[in-house]
Homo-oligomer: A and B are copies of this chain.
Amino acid sequence: MKVTITDIARIAGVSVATVSRVVNNKSKGVSEETRKKIWQLVEEYNYQPSAMARGLVTGTSKIIGLIIPDITNPFYPVLAKGVEDYASEKGYHMILCDGGNDPHKELSYLKFLEEHYVTGIVYNNFREISEETLSRLRNSSVPVVFVDSKVAIPQSRNLYIDNRGAMAGVIHYLYAQGHRNIGFIGGPDDSYSSIERFKGYKDALQDLQIPFREELVVYGEYTTRGGSRAGQLLLSRNVGLTAVAVCNDIMAVGMYDACESLGLTIPEDISVVGFDDINIARLIRPKLTTVKQPTYEMGYKSANMLIDIIEGKQHKVGHDKVFDTELKIRDSVKKLINYDRS
């Protein structure tokens, strides 16, 4: 049988209020002596307060939710670790919700979190957020921090990297290495990050006065298979590519597969650049040149922002936080020395 606060109170010969005060470390109203006695009893009987009863009366909890689309994508465990680490430093627990890229499931998780009085939510979804989810979020009173998307609702903050600029940087780098025919493999077409990165691609082309060619770009799912399919399609077009910028690392890995199955070597036959710098990037051969995102830090910081909002320590200025990225130059890009300099 579970031991309750009433049991402890009875055994200690005090009221439940006193026990409650002790257990919650209220500074007032209990003598040191009584405190000690009660703690001892708590230990002895292994009393654990019911989170349900507590939540019911306080209307809140020490739980934050993390909603992500796919834990199987190596980007997310790292993000989750960041969130969880900060949260647990502050005495919060984290509930991880894998929406599985399914708007219904995501919505059901959102309900679940609300029903459990979570105090805040860190939200990431690379796809566009469904109208229903968004309106629920908007009408709910729980603060939300969006990672890597820009959603403007009152109680929320955003936290992201400069996707557009970073991708432009990639193209400039490839250009500097002598590449002129640069392809682009994008993610799902409603993906915020993919859209932004594509803009960066076009920005750079314009800057460099390279005409944009539709046939050099192709889209796919944010998975290895998606990258592989997209890569094969792109390569099969025979458009004289010397390099391709891929929208994320797991797709880039798929690109490696595509090249291998078509008998092409990286970087001799074609150069590849990824995005994210997941672990795998430096493990595959050739090591993948990619844009490093501070994934762990983003998770950590997003929990930080969220808990600050929760506890009313909202930063006055700079509601959003933009993280820096870094181009990690490794072995998947070839320098084209013979390129005719203009």
A-to-B contact residues, CB < 8 Å? 2, 46, 48-53, 55-56, 59, 71-72, 74, 76-78, 80-81, 84-85, 88, 93, 95-96, 98, 100, 105, 108-109, 111-112, 114-117, 139, 224, 253, 256, 279-280, 283-285
Q: Once bound together, how far apart are the Cα atoms of A81 and B74, in whole Å?
A: 13
With CB as the reference atom, state the residue of chain B lying closest to A114. Answer: B48
Docked pose: A280 CA to B100 CA in angstroms: 21
Contacts of A2 in B (CB 8 A): 59
Determine the chain B residues whose CB is within 8 A of the CB of A283 once the complex forms: 224, 253, 256, 280, 283-284
CA distance A81 to B99 in the complex (A): 11
Given contacts A51-B112, A88-B108, 18 further A-B contacts (CB under 8 A): A50-B56, A50-B117, A51-B115, A52-B55, A52-B116, A53-B56, A72-B77, A72-B81, A74-B77, A77-B77, A81-B98, A84-B98, A84-B100, A93-B109, A96-B96, A224-B283, A284-B285, A285-B285
Known: A74-B74, A95-B95. A116 touches B51 (CB 8 A): yes
Q: How many copies of this kind of chain does the complex include?
A: 2
Within the assembled complex, what's the spacing in Å between the Cα atoms of A76 and B71?
A: 9
Docked-complex contact B71 and A81, CB < 8 angstroms = yes
CB <8 Å contact, B50 and A115 = yes
- In the complex, chain B residues whose CB is within 8 Å of the CB of A279: 224, 280
Cβ-neighbour of A88 out of B56, B95, B105 (below 8 A): B105
Interchain residue pairs with CB less than 8 A apart (23): A46-B139, A48-B114, A49-B115, A50-B56, A50-B115, A52-B52, A52-B56, A52-B116, A56-B56, A71-B71, A74-B74, A77-B77, A84-B98, A84-B100, A88-B105, A88-B108, A93-B112, A95-B96, A96-B96, A253-B283, A256-B283, A280-B280, A284-B284
